[in-house]
Structure 1
Amino acid sequence: MGTGPAPGRERFLAGAAEVGLQVDVVARAAAGSLAEAASLLGISPADIVKSLVVKHKDGTFLFALIPGDRQISWPKLRALVGVNKLSLPPADVALDATGYERGTITPLGSTHPWPVYADAAITGKRISMGAGAHGYSAFVDADALTAALRAVVADISDPN
């Protein structure tokens, strides 16, 4: 498969298979925004889940899964994790932490199995998320995803 988007997508698919998760990956045109991506996929922005890499003050990371129509709530996430400082790292640090570029990040197939925190607003839905490579999206049952990743599911977001 060599160069291009395939290695990240293949790692994503292997990660999903490793935890027994059924995912459907679709190719899509490049999108300039989350709203445009939702339109291309024929879904609402709320059904696209952003996988955010968050840096812990101790130098470790975690994933926060946030619906596209919401934003991370730093006070809620800090309280849940039990720390007073969390941050979004620069793109190169996120790449080093996960093996994925921004816009393709997913906990599935990450080069390190960081803990996952999922916003409660995604429960009970079929969602779309990054599939490890630009130009691809994955569809998955959110409840199966959070179970497979042993995610902490809680209110960790606020409306945009």
Structure 2
Amino acid sequence: MSEQRALDAVAASGLEHTVTRHGRVGSLQEAAEARGVRPRDVVKTMVVRRGEGDHIFVLVPGDRQISWPKLRALLGVSRLSMPDAEGAREATGYARGTITPFGSTTAWPVVADDTLTGDPDRTISLGAGAHGVAVTVNAEAVLASLDARVADVTEPEGPEAR
């Protein structure tokens, strides 16, 4: 079971964490309320394809989206893509909407947006391998645990950002 694999990996990391089970939600706001965090602290784990058999995880705050030009520049590549649902499952062992670096079938490198850092007391909520299951963890601790490369790779989400 994907959920158990993810939760076992979080536990094995030694991170202090809280597991929340809330079932499916219809919006970022609903997810934040169910998890007891602010919308910006619901962190999406995006799997991005760099090339054949080469992916990365990008941790994106809930109120932001990947800036493709920034991410391409950081990685020194001219092309990136999002795998389709089957490609994402093959790369991670998780279905879209449940992807997490924890317990992924391959330990892809992690890039985290720099807006996730700077507050040693900030907690964030990450998906945990199943719809409606999340772990709430200290942001700085989880980024260190994942050996995340922290950089400016997002922009505000919504029409005003375009």
Q: Same fold (TM over 0.5)?
A: yes
CA deviations over 1:91-112 (Å, ceiling 9, x no partner): 1110110011111110011000
Q: Match of 1:52?
A: 46
Q: Match of 1:25?
A: 19
Q: Match of 2:148?
A: 151
Match 1:122 to one of 102, 116, 122: 116
CA distance in 2, matches of 1:28, 1:86: 33
Match 2:67 to one of 67, 73, 76: 73
Q: Percent identity?
A: 52
Equivalenced residue count is 154
Contact 1:19 1:149 survives alignment (8 Å): no
- TM-score using structure 1 length: 0.91
Measured after TM superposition, the shift of residue 22 of structure 1 is 2.4
Ranges in structure 1 where 5+ consecutive residues have no aligned partner:
1-6
SS in 2 for 1:105: coil
Q: Match of 1:4?
A: none
Measured after TM superposition, the shift of residue 71 of structure 1 is 0.4
SS in 1 for 2:95: coil
Ranges in structure 2 where 5+ consecutive residues have no aligned partner:
158-162
Over the aligned positions, Cα root-mean-square deviation in angstroms equals: 1.3
Q: Match of 2:78?
A: 84
CA distance in 1, matches of 2:11, 2:105: 15
Q: Match of 2:138?
A: 141
SS in 2 for 1:137: strand
CA distance in 2, matches of 1:139, 1:59: 30
